[in-house]
Structure 1
């Protein structure tokens, strides 16, 4: 099977959606490890990025259900794209807060701005409550802070989504 054929049909196979789901669940597990094992308190921007990863996982679940059905496949692709791009934008904003020349002029919310009909921070505070400060850099790897790594991760999710989406419109050669 050629690479073009593989990319063209990837959104119609459960294995692709399973890999996407597992990658998102792995990231959520790592976030909870940082929070509970390492004692790093998530800020509101971290919580929003966590929600974007949950959005990718939810989209992957939709795609996993019945990937050959166009409604499921396109709903999953849309959810993946929206979540990846939203996460990327939030991560970029988070880095801007952390690297601001004057931290007194950069602020972030204290309480998550969830819809009133879905106050996740009240329902599951252990995952969705923000207890940290957006400007703090409590962890880094290879000179990059956590939100900088999230930019890389969300950019990869967005790039892969873009390629898969592009190839959905490509017809396979007979």
Structure 2
């Protein structure tokens, strides 16, 4: 319980730790791409953007002295974390149940440049052949599985921070004066 109190007792510290965790995940993704040679699929790119946004909003919340701004950044980061978790869950589903016809479709930038956004987004979440491919695992879980776990953890931590932000401070008993 001491860790829980230490972590959630100081919301700026908790937000800073979430920001650092997102940056570490992004750095590991860059390592996998540029050193190991794994190319990210469209859903991986969306998850990277979600990590960047969660890092930015939690970093802003950690740097902010204003409670209202901190609540706004927590709420925004929570919405982005839910979107990242949804994308990771969709990719995990594709990996567990790959499509019958595997075709390596366009990359995310080609989809967005060619099609309007209302048509490109469903194409991204439908996934291409490379979104269902598992190139790397750790402890039997793919990158998408680990991303889902991380986004879910971030979301739960942000929910607790949000709930604690609306809590009233405890009323302290008045000191008795001696006459």
Match of 2:24 in 1: 26
1:59 counterpart = 2:73? no
Cα distance in 2 between the residues matched to 1:99 and 1:57: 29
Q: Structure with the greater relative contact order (CA < 8 A, sep ≥ 6): 1 or 2?
A: 1
Is residue 62–residue 76 contact of structure 1 (8 Å, CA) maintained in 2? yes
Match of 1:93 in 2: 90
Is residue 84–residue 155 contact of structure 1 (8 Å, CA) maintained in 2? yes
TM-score by length of 1: 0.76
Cα distance in 2 between the residues matched to 1:53 and 1:114: 20
Distance 1:98 1:108, change over 3 A: farther
Corresponding residue to 1:49 among 47, 55, 62: 47
Mark the structure with the bigger radius of gyration.
2
Runs of 4 or more off by more than 4 Å in structure 1?
A: 2-6, 105-109, 113-116
Segments of structure 2 that go 5 or more residues without pairing to the other structure are: 115-128, 172-179
Corresponding residue to 1:70 among 67, 71, 94: 67
Structure 1 residues 110-149: Cα deviation after superposition (integer angstroms, max 9, x where no partner):
2246699xxxxxxxxxxxxxxx921110001111111011
Segments of structure 1 that go 5 or more residues without pairing to the other structure are: 117-131
Aligned residues: CA RMSD: 2.7
User: Shift of the alpha carbon at 1:70?
Assistant: 3.1
Is residue 62–residue 75 contact of structure 1 (8 Å, CA) maintained in 2? no
Cα distance in 2 between the residues matched to 1:166 and 1:106: 44
Is residue 81–residue 152 contact of structure 2 (8 Å, CA) maintained in 1? yes
Cα distance in 1 between the residues matched to 2:112 and 2:166: 35
Bigger helix fraction: 2
Distance 1:111 1:5, change over 3 A: closer
